[in-house]
Amino acid sequence: METIPILKVGDVLLVSIQVDMHDRLAMRLQDDLTERVVKDRAKGVLVEISSLETVDSFIGRVLGNIAAITRTLSAETIIVGMRPAVAITMVELGLSWSNVRTALTVDKAMEMLQAAAAASGEEPVDVHEEK
Amino acid sequence: METIPILKVGDVLLVSIQVDMHDRLAMRLQDDLTERVVKDRAKGVLVEISSLETVDSFIGRVLGNIAAITRTLSAETIIVGMRPAVAITMVELGLSWSNVRTALTVDKAMEMLQAAAAASGEEPVDVHEEK
């Protein structure tokens, strides 16, 4: 597969990473996601990585970059479903991800986005688009 | 990867199929999904297949079975993002999928679930779980 599909659920973009990402695929995801954040006016980005058994330093950095870039575009990125082994690797690699929020489940991440929107006085994040 | 992750978004289970499914993986998905429908009391199942370039008759039948089984468990399955080439193949294979609903996007599928719940007089489908 050449690209990782980006699913739009209301105001939120959802990406489920299931393949071991080589470097070019990771860069492509970064480009596609930032483009879609602007195009779809997304308020949040959920990157689901429960399938990933390992994360190398490059991929770790790309995920951190995605979070930083989307925040600049006023969309919060939350990494969802990280395995304990991946968390250990991240720390061992010295990737602090100080700006990256994490959640164990998609539902929990959606709640975090709602709470963040409420706290900043914005409209609530739609997880289902009203027509 | 051994399993396809099943994401819970409110009352809906979301599966994004990104790898070419060999037969055992497809059967495993069927088992996992039906188990999760009961465990999570899901009202809908979205199977996103925009990454799939081809569907063979076995996979086509498994997707049809998933829809039939989840309906028995009172959860509607919607196949999301089918490519035109896959639709053509399905027809050529003689798989009518008469019971399977399809949608082009996740948002559209969520709307269909809401509409179906409203029509049957049930509670609206939560796409975000309230705590």
Tell me the ipTM for this assembly. Answer: 0.82
**A107–B51 C-beta distance less than 8 A:** no
* Chain B hits for A1, Cβ within 8 Å: 18-19, 51
> How do A12-16 and A6-9 pair as beta strands?
antiparallel
Say how far apart CA A71 and CA A129 lie, in whole Å. Answer: 22
Q: Which of B9, B107, B110 sits opposite A107 (nearest CB)?
A: B9
B28 contacts: CB under 8 Å, gap ≥ 6: B2, B3, B4
A18 contacts chain B (CB < 8 A): yes
Residue segments in chain B with a per-residue pLDDT below the cut of 50: 129-131
Q: Say yes or no: B106 contacts chain A, CB-CB below 8 A.
A: yes
What H or E segment, with its residue span, contains residue B91?
Answer: helix B84-92
CA distance linking residue A35 with residue A46, whole number of Å? 15
User: Per-residue b/e over A79-117, b at no fewer than 16 CB within 10 Å?
Assistant: bbbbeeebeebbeeeebebeebbbbebbbbbbbbbbebb
Residue in A7, A48, A131 closest to B48 by CB: A7
pTM over cut 0.90: no
> Tell me, what's the pLDDT at A129?
43
The sign of the dihedral angle between the CA atoms of B55, B58, B61, B65 is negative
Chain A residue with minimum CA distance to B131: A111
pLDDT at position B38, please? Answer: 96
Contact A68, A99 (CB under 8 A): yes
**pLDDT attached to residue A124:** 78
**Per-residue pLDDT, A130:** 42
Q: What is the rounded distance in angstroms from the CA atom of residue A103 to the CA atom of residue A57?
A: 21
Residue type at position B69: I
pLDDT at A38: 96
Tens of pLDDT along A76-108? 999 999 999 999 998 898 887 877 899 999 999
Distance between CA atoms of A60 and B69, rounded to whole angstroms? 39
What's the Cα-to-Cα distance from B43 to each of B34, B94, B123, rounded to whole Å?
Answer: 12, 29, 10
State the pLDDT at residue A120: 82
Residue among B18, B48, B131 minimizing CB distance to A1: B18
Residue with more model confidence, A40 or A122: A40
- Render pLDDT for B87-111 as a digit per residue (tens, 0 to 9): 999 889 888 787 789 999 999 999 9
Cα of A10 to nearest chain B Cα, Å: 6
Closest CA to B11 of A114, A121, A43, A128: A128
